[in-house]
């Protein structure tokens, strides 16, 4: 299983009238986390796209356990629990500064060839980087 933690600070602009991180921002937080995962593996999204691959989101699930607040430094644990093939599912756990679990979720993305916009198998360069985590 692949697992990595990143940190993200809740900005003032991310909050609603109640002072909570607005629920709609979690999809953006997921994207920030995924982007950092790809970068840490040595395959930034920009390079993946330059190789001719796209990764649109097919599913997005969010579960809110407790609010995050302005200026909270959140720890986001990003996990890939299965070897990706044509699709890749990311699992997320969000922890507040007190290390309490406040949010869980997952997204399912599909690999597409950018020229045909048709589903394809995981790019070989990405499989090479991720496979050691599953051995």
Query: Span 51-60, mean pLDDT?
Result: 96
What number of H helices and E strands is found in the chain?
A: 3, 7
Give the DSSP letter string of 21-64.
Answer: BPGGGHHHHHHHHHHHHHHHTT--HHHHHHTTEE--EEEEEEEE
At 39-53, the pLDDT tens digits run 999 989 899 999 999
Confidence of residue 4 (pLDDT cuts 50, 70, 90): very high
What pLDDT is stored for residue 84 in this prediction?
95
- Return the exposure string of 34-57: e unless at least 16 CB atoms fall within 10 Å of the residue's CB, then b: bebbbeebebeeeebeeeebbbee
Average pLDDT along the chain: 96
> What single DSSP character describes residue 121?
P
Homologous superfamily (CATH) for 2-134: Hotdog Thioesterase (3.10.129.10)
Query: Span 67-79, mean pLDDT?
Result: 98
């Amino acid at each position: 299983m692949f697992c990595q933690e990143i940190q993200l600070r809740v900005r003032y602009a991310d909050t609603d009238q109640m002072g909570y991180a607005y629920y709609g921002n979690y999809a953006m937080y997921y994207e920030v986390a995924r982007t950092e995962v790809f970068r840490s593996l040595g395959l930034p999204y920009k390079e993946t796209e330059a190789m001719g691959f796209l990764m649109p989101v097919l599913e997005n699930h969010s579960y809110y356990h407790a609010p995050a607040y302005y200026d909270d430094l959140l720890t986001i644990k990003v996990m890939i629990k299965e070897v990706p093939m044509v699709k890749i599912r990311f699992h997320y756990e969000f922890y507040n500064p007190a290390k309490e679990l406040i949010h869980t979720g997952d997204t399912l993305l599909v690999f597409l060839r950018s020229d045909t916009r048709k589903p394809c198998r995981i790019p070989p360069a990405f499989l090479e980087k991720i496979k050691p985590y599953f051995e």
